[in-house]
Structure 1
Amino acid sequence: MNKTTISQVHKYVGEDVKIGAWIANKRSSGKIAFLQLRDGTGFIQGVVVKAEVSEEVFQQAKGITQESSVYVTGTVQKDERSPFGYELQVKGIDVIHQSVDYPITPKEHGTEFLMDNRHLWLRSKRQHAVMKVRNEIIRATYEFFNEQGFTKVDPPILTGSAPEGTTELFATKYFDEDAYLSQSGQLYMEAAAMALGKVFSFGPTFRAEKSKTRRHLIEFWMIEPEMAFVEFEENLEVQEQYVSHIVQSVLKNCSLELKTLGRDTEKLEKIQAPFPRISYDDAIKFLHEKGFTDISWGDDFGAPHETAIAESYDKPVFITHYPTTLKPFYMQPHPNREDVVLCADLIAPEGYGEIIGGSERIHDYEMLKQRLTDHGLALEAYEWYLQLREFGSVPHSGFGLGLERTVAWISGVEHVRETIPFPRLLNRLYP
């Protein structure tokens, strides 16, 4: 008997297999019971025909409860009616643990109830699909940067200063010093780029921002590449190549999951580099033409503004050259304008907002020192960062992609709380 997983049953068509699984759902008629089985790798229907099994097995099938764990034996058969393409003709059931009163039944449940039971909600077919898409984006991220010659570097989570220079920090005591949970690994990645050329990090970041929108989490994961000898335009090219790669990888390797989520894949098939670009100046003019009289030059864009801009394109769009006053201290000024910097935000289609922020970094020591002073930041806390401009400084650029927003966009999920296994929200720290 071949012991296998649901994802591998295609190797055993016509053969008997044994699978460890949970009962996701079931239904039965007088002579047939249908078991919806899941094992973490996928979902498959097990068919129990009364005339083909013992009375004991058939009664087990009819009486088994949702989320009970079992070993199931049976014959793998092709089934064109199944989205998965296969089903299992069950011959035997060995109950490992009988589940009693599983709280998430097949009926509709409220969001707060599901969030309270997130540890169980993850088992559902929809949440399983979202996590598989997330995993594929992560896999494709490593694939892309490894193929492009980047080195993975892990920045610290506990830091002594703020990369973004804001007050939206989680403070803690580091013995007798003040410390903060990292907002971004960028500053450390700049140091790594001066040692290794092209680097990227992938890790958790934290923002003490009291926001309740569908785009915000308190704890989220970021992919942050940093590249020495790379200037603004080349940085944008890397971004669009990377985003194109992960989207096409999900289309190729997660077709069943996208179907489960009801995602319109035709929209994703259009996501190929290059991406359109619009300057901040032109974006302001565009918004005024669209009737957004509430925004002026120098204001930051909100969700409605980003959505209006994105709706004019069927690909992600770069908004470039934001005002200096809107952006952090480390961004390189435009060579011909002091009022804007060499930066870009990448806005996803379909109302998902900014998924990447990036820029060329200031590489001149005196300019960076002045910017730190202008932002009221203590020079001693950034002494090591300034030293990167003292010893062999070079033009360099980088960006950060927010994983959860990207998962939401690619999978078509409305709220980012479904795109991370255990979301941390403004008023949620459980489970």
Structure 2
Amino acid sequence: MIKTTNAGPHLRILAVCWEGGGNVPPTLAAVRALAARGHEVRLIADDTMSAEAIEAGARFLPWKRAPNRPDRSDESCFLRDWESADPVACFQRACARIFVGPAQCYAEDILEALATEPADILLGSDLLFGSMLAGEIAKLPTALLASNISLWPLPGHPPFGPGFQPARSASDRAREAEASAMAEQAWDGFLPRLNAARAHFGLAPLAHVHEQRLSAGRHLPATSRSFDFPAEHLPDSVRYVGPLLEMPSWAHDRWTSQPEREMRPLVLVSFSTTNQGQADVLQRVISGLAGEPVEVVLTLGKALEGLRLQAAANVTVLSNAAHDDILTKARAVVTHGGHGTIMRSLHHGVPLVILPMGRDQNDNAARVDYHGAGLRLDHSVHQIIIGEAVRRVLSERCFAERAMALGRAVAKEGPGPERIAAEIEDFVLKSSQSALSST
């Protein structure tokens, strides 16, 4: 790990983001950390992030040609996970509408911002291929922020998506190879769109979509090396920076315990800040815990605050609550497996029951399972099984011990905001040295 003290020269940084829910807080945390080090940061993003970006210390620029959400309502959402239970269909929609399809539009907006005001580095997104493309066109040092685990498998890791554990047998390796081939085929379904964008800017075509990421000089997963699967070796371009746990701006509700219930174990239930069609699974969680001797706090988040659920007597529903206050007393967390919720839980040493619903959640759950810090269930399981899983996590001490040990290991690596700022400074310095040596 590089040192995180003594910031280098003042940098001009252009950062990018898109409104996808869980990717927003890590980007804002990175912006805040860089601005606190005295760097000049511009953030080009959806209008939903305008006030948050300014509060974090950035100058805000809106997407003009690229997709731009004016608010966080369901109506403005481009991904619309709740419309399909098929993860492949959800992935294809995300690629078409955000990741790859509008690459030219994202690149044009970024290049316009760079033409208006130069930058020393582009902090792109591992999911916005237009940001990778813009960095390549501008010949600008480009780092890609992954808001959680790496989208692209590291050496010895299973492919992203299915939630596999690391391979231990020939059959496991064959399964991984098949899944990797399917993933590459799915990405390459959008290769014509990406190559059309490249041709527009006079760049040569690629053989595969994933080759576009190679144009970036740094890949910065905002997760912990201790949390991730062990890697055989890491490419020099990949640098773990640790969790970036920015509190959402809307999380203002406070939970206060009721004296008559304080003797019961507290269970936090949280299923994303965005709509993934969680109503059914949330109701089953409530019903599964209704007969248990526990106190339940269920937080909804901005996109779900209007959700109508049939609450049990031992359940408190909060629309827009901060988790840290609750986690100081919680004994277990039931969640969809979003990276931020998992990392906050581990920070407090709280074990988890995870019911993944898509996106990165299967893979996050696989890592929790791997470390023994919780249990993974299919999100369609019966409410009785949910209750049994929570009972087991509460009664078997090993889960809490492993969650606490993992939380300590993550904390020992150092604070994410300081680490990402140091990595950005180091990358720009080495890029400048490399440019000088080649002239």
TM class by shorter-chain length?
A: under 0.3
Query: Based on CA coordinates, which of the two structures has the bigger radius of gyration?
Result: 1
What TM-score does the superposition give when structure 1 sets the normalisation length? Answer: 0.23
What TM-score does the superposition give when structure 2 sets the normalisation length? Answer: 0.23
Q: Compare the two structures and name the one with the higher strand fraction.
A: 1
Q: Which has the higher contact order (CA 8 A, sep 6+)?
A: 2
